[in-house]
Structures are given as C-alpha cells and as structure tokens.
Amino acid sequence: MTEYEALDLAQSNFSNALASYAVLLSIVSGYLITAYLVGSKLARIQVRLLTLLFLIVVAILIWSMSAYMYWGDIFSISTLARGEDGERTMMAPPSWLPTFLAVINTLTVIGCVFFMWNVRRTKRADKE
C-alpha cells in the first residue's frame, strides 16, 4: 500500500467517524426532544421500548465511531512510522482519542437516560 492510499484510507475512516457522530447527535437530540415534550405522557412500556431502541442504536454508533477513528489512526500513523532500516511499518500504537470520545459519548447517553427518568419522576410527583 502506498503512502497516498494509506492516507486516503485514514481520511475515509475519519470522514466516516464524523458522519457517525452527526447521526449520533441527531438521535440524541431526538431522544431528548421526545423526553421533554412527551416523556411524561408516555406509558411505562413505551418509555422502556424507546429507551431500549435508543441504547441499542447509540451503542452501535459509538462502537463504529471508535472503530473508524482507531483504524484511521492506524493508517495515518503507519504512513509516517518508519523502521530502523527505513522501511514503513504497518503497526502503530493507537491514539487515546477514540477511547476518550467513547467515554464522553457514553456519559452523554447516561445523561440522556437520566433526563428521561427525571421527566418521568417529575410527572409522578406532580400527580401526587
């Protein structure tokens, strides 16, 4: 693989990660808007189903985004990494960025589910 091909593959992976992030933001926004507008009116089974689907889709997106960034790092760093004999090496240590973003996104998802719980709890407190 030439340096151009490796960098092109890295750029493609980073572009896919950004596209996944845009989809993640859209889904999180939709979940939060749903929680705010109709969360208190939904039946318990509807909230559970909505939250389960939300968690499944978001988990897949976070995993794919981390994988895209991991492989993007591998291909971009490997084009710059050279062995002692001057030959390119294809193995490079992964960056901390994919792990960091996965943790931040997971905390965001936990915050979204807490927000839904809080809206539902406020509904119960208002009825009593």
Domain boundaries, the chain: 3-127
What is the pLDDT, as a whole number, of residue 98?
A: 82
| Per-residue pLDDT reduced to its tens digit, 79-107 | 665 555 656 555 555 577 788 888 999 99
Calculate the average pLDDT of the chain: 83
More confident residue, 11 or 113: 113
Burial class (CB in 10 A: 0-12, 13-18, 19+), 92: middle
For residue 88, give the DSSP letter: B
77 sits in which H/E element: helix 44-80
